[in-house]
Amino acid sequence: MDERPLGTSDVQISPILMGTWQAGKSMWVGIEDAETTKAMRAAFDAGITTFDTAEVYGNGHSEQIVGQSLADVREQVVYATKVFANHLKAEKVIESCEHSLKNLKTDYIDLYQIHWPSGAFKSSIVPIEETMGALNQLKQQGKIRAIGVSNFSRVQLEEASQFGRIDSLQPPYSLFWRQVEQDAAPYCIENNISILAYSSLAQGLLTGKFGPNHQFEPGDHRVKNKLFTGENYKRAQQALEKLRPIAERHQISLSNLALAWLIAQPQANAIVGARNAEQASQNAKAGEVHLSADELAEIDAIGRIVTDHLDDSPVLWNWS
């Protein structure tokens, strides 16, 4: 898989990244550490070099599994992790980074990201200048190589950029969820900021494996995902039926069609999770799919069956 530069930094990332929220186990069901480890190794063997995690995923458990799974190939992979919204005071940023370094069994983090803006989830308000000051300090010390933000609006991204170089934005972004295109994406394109799309398969909806009457197990966070409810879910099923012939033409899965479309968008890269080795290997194949301009336009139009009816909120879940 051809690698791409992360923003203007010297970090090189794979356009398909492995997401590891599920590795933390919290808010997921049926996750086993042994299977997660096999999935990470399979992803690496298939050409995925970039692994995205966060301190809040299972209270550090995801980071620990990443560190254990990839320790022997550390110099060949990129670790991206995140500091949560309740740890954005300068001393907390430094403390969180030290914990993440320990969890990941490494002495540097390739990409360190602010997970949610200050104030999210009832966290205290911290001036972005203070948080960025701590991140810049960590960068100068060589403990982190690049700074990114996640779930930031364009306004928040512009403000953060006043206090240091931001090399990536991590928003929810998929064929079925495209608010970022109207908000922060133009700024990212203008300023060479990489977009690391999470929920790039709309939390599994774009795989086509969830039928019209699917019911999630208790504890699965997708029950609160807006795309899995009501008319949104019905429209998604209609769109999936129109996507199937295109995938069949290329002899690829619906998942890889959706991922190939996404990484063909300006500055866009796709974070995708995997429960097992087979899923991880299959996800990597999306990096080899080439879609024509006409096909990209056709897929774009099909996706709008869903996205044209969504509200303007950038948050994917009804958590309130």
Give the residue numbers annotated as catalytic, written as ranges: 57
Which residue in 293, 250, 257 sits closest to 272, CA to CA?
257
> Scanning the structure block, which residue is given the tokens 């009457």?
213
Give CA–CA dist 68/65, Å, rounded. 5
DSSP string, 253-314: -HHHHHHHHHHTSTTEEEEEE-SSHHHHHHHHGGGG----HHHHHHHHHHHHHHHTTS-S--
List CB contacts of 313: < 8 A, sequence separation 6 or more.
Answer: 179
> Scanning the structure block, which residue is given the tokens 């807006």?
226
List CB contacts of 8: < 8 A, sequence separation 6 or more.
Answer: 165, 167, 192
DSSP string, 165-204: ---EEE-B-BTTB-HHHHTTHHHHHHTT-EEEEBSTTGGG
Give CA–CA dist 117/34, Å, rounded. 33
Provide the token pair at 53: 């995690």
The residues pairing with 94 across neighbouring beta strands, listed in sequence order, are none
